[in-house]
Amino acid sequence: MSGLFGTFNVATRGMSAQQKALDVVSHNIANANTEGYSRQRATMETTRPFGMPSMNNAMGPGQLGTGVEISAITRIRDGFLDYQVRMENGTSGLYQGREKFLTEIEGIMNEPSDTGVSTLLTKVFNSWQELSLHPESSNSRTVVAQQSKALTDELNNTYNQLTKLKVNSQDVIKQNVVDVNSMLDQLNVLNQQVISVKIGGNEPNDLMDRRDLLVDQLSVKFGITIDKKSLGGEDLKPDEVVGSYNAYLVKSINQDEVSRFSYVSSIKPTGVIVVPPDVETNPPTVQKPGENGKYQVTYYKNGDTSTEKNKATINMNLTPQQYKELDQGRVLWADKDGNAIDSTGAKLESSAEFKNLALFEPQKGELKGYMSVQEDIDKYVDKLNSLARGIAFSINAVHSGESDATTKTGIPNIFVNSTKTGVDGEIEINAGNISINKVILDDVMKIKVAAGDTPSATDGKRALAIASLRDIRLDIQSINNTTTRADFLSKTSSLFSLDPTLGVKTIASSVDGMTVSGYFTDIVNRLAVQTQEAKRIVKNHESLLKGLDESRTSISGVSLDEEMANMIQFQHAYQANAKIISTVDELLDVVINGLKR
């Protein structure tokens, strides 16, 4: 209706609209520092005017407006920028995870330094050189023994620290599995709340902000793909999923039909004897981690290790490669309750084949970074083991004059496996167990320094031959965990032969070999390159993400100056509408009361 009462209603609607707009401004200002908040805007539209076309509508000067209303309160958000940020979060998370642990590996290697392996190697060979000049001196022999012990202690320490670091990285993976599952549960709840509000005809701006913030945080863990659904719902799954029947982690419909992740806490050999005892030199061989055989795989549902009720086991046969994949991955696809599933979605029973095990293998994100760095740690441990074996095989061979460690010569080895005894003390030697023979430490005069067979002879030629090993190119890079001294010295024809000048058997340089110091330097250089690459990519992506975040903030962020200007604008409009109401009130008083006079 038109007239004074119509004008009164227009002003009333105007006051109500401006008040709601002020509420939105107040909400924006209150959340100016809230992480993930997107500024909101009240959209105003004119209400239905008078004078709409009809059969009995009299012609007039035009439609008469009836005021204003708030049609929607929307958040200001750029979906493409969100997509870009999440894509870069995955790559940044990958290299942040790698940088974190590669930097720690650098600290463990402790190179270059006065106490690192490289310096200790030099001191060992220098001590043998000095012993060749003073073969009769017990002090020189003691220096050889102690410098060699310092080297083995450092190799043991480096090995143990790398092993602990791998365990730490697995603990981080476990915590990430717990965090990811928690995020997914929260996202599932928020998804349903958003849909419920949308069904009611309202705009769930704050709920969508909270959901987007969780998605941003999740995208750092691994790459994600989002499928937009009706009523504001979102279906979420990891990028480039291979071999999973149900890759969806969050669904807007059938929200219980989703997957989760579980964590493998241990992979233990069943203890089956692989090689039965037959003779004294062939003791029982028990299956070790990483060998082909049967394993008991223990995992915790949803990564929750707080209660043994979540513990489950699977028995399976694993090859060395399968063991490595499972050991370095550790994360299994599971149903919503945390039960490990196969590629068809069926729950795995107490026994299963590895090919049916659904391993989660993200292509990027922090989880991928932590998984990949375990592979790096394993490689550096293997290289360190090869170094330890190369040192032991070469020095022991020249010291004993034998290419076969099992040959009984009566001359003690310098380096032995601390877990073994007797003539086989060199078997399965690695950086973690290499040590100086206790016989040598107890009596340094048993160190053989001369060309003859008598250990206490004093011509120093054998000590000189051992000192010369520092410049000999050895096939260290070909050594693996099954290589024996005989295997190592038979890589090249006449590799271990009599030196006519010194009168002792020594090792000739291999064309494709590396010196002991050069091999370790190569390890350190490779590590430095990997660490620098991770740091460089992290730095580049930090700059890129900073730029994207600034772009997103310029659109979605709250500007206090802008909100203050809007507040003044809505305040004046509110006051103007109030003035109209006051004026209409005076006019109505004239009409109602003034006409009586």
Q: What is the pLDDT of residue 247?
A: 83
Q: What are the C-alpha distances in Å from 28 to residues 25, 324, 526, 575?
A: 5, 52, 51, 22
What predicted TM-score, i.e. pTM, was given to this entire model?
Answer: 0.87
504-507 vs 496-499, strand pairing mode: antiparallel
Domain boundary among 496, 523, 550: 523
Cα(171)–Cα(181) distance, rounded to whole angstroms?
Answer: 16
| Same-domain check for residues 398 and 460 | yes
According to DSSP, residue 64 is labeled: B
Predicted confidence band at 204 (pLDDT cuts at 50, 70, 90)?
very high
Do 500 and 579 share a domain, yes or no? no
In this structure, are 266 and 148 located in the same domain? no
Average confidence (pLDDT) over 549-572:
94
Q: And the tokens for 224?
A: 């994600």
pLDDT of 576 strictly over 90: yes
Q: What's the whole-number average pLDDT of the chain?
A: 88
| pLDDT band at 53; cut points 50, 70, 90 | low
Cα separation, 155 vs 161, whole angstroms: 10
- For residue 493, name the pLDDT band (cuts at 50, 70, 90): very low
Cα 486 from Cα 406, distance rounded (Å)? 9
CA dihedral 336, 341, 343, 344 (to 10 degrees): -80
Average pLDDT over residues 7-32: 95
* Band (129; pLDDT cuts 50, 70, 90): very high
Amino acid at 113: S
Q: Are residues 33 and 63 in the same domain?
A: yes
Q: How many domains does the chain have?
A: 3
- Answer whether residue 500 is part of any domain: yes
Q: What confidence tier does 578 reach under pLDDT thresholds 50, 70, 90?
A: very high
Secondary structure of residue 569 in the 3-state scheme = helix
Quick one: pLDDT at residue 16? 95
Residue 425 has pLDDT above 90, yes or no: no
Place of tokens 């729950």: 347
Measured from the Cβ of residue 100, the count of other Cβ atoms closer than 10 Å reads 17
Asked if residue 465 is part of any domain, the answer here is: yes
Say whether pLDDT at 185 is over 50.
yes
Is residue 377 classed as helix, strand or coil in its secondary structure?
Answer: helix
Q: What is the mean pLDDT of residues 306-314?
A: 92
Our separate counts of H helices and E strands in the chain read: 12, 14
- Domain interval for residue 459: 115-160+375-523
Least confident window among 107-111, 142-146, 453-457: 453-457
Identify the three-state secondary structure at position 260. Answer: strand
Tracing tokens 């990811």 back to the chain, one arrives at: 180
β-bridge mates for residue 417, sequence order: 434
**pLDDT value of position 284:** 58
The answer on pLDDT for 388 being more than 70 is: yes
Q: 60 and 145: one domain? A: no
Residues 473 and 382 in one domain: yes
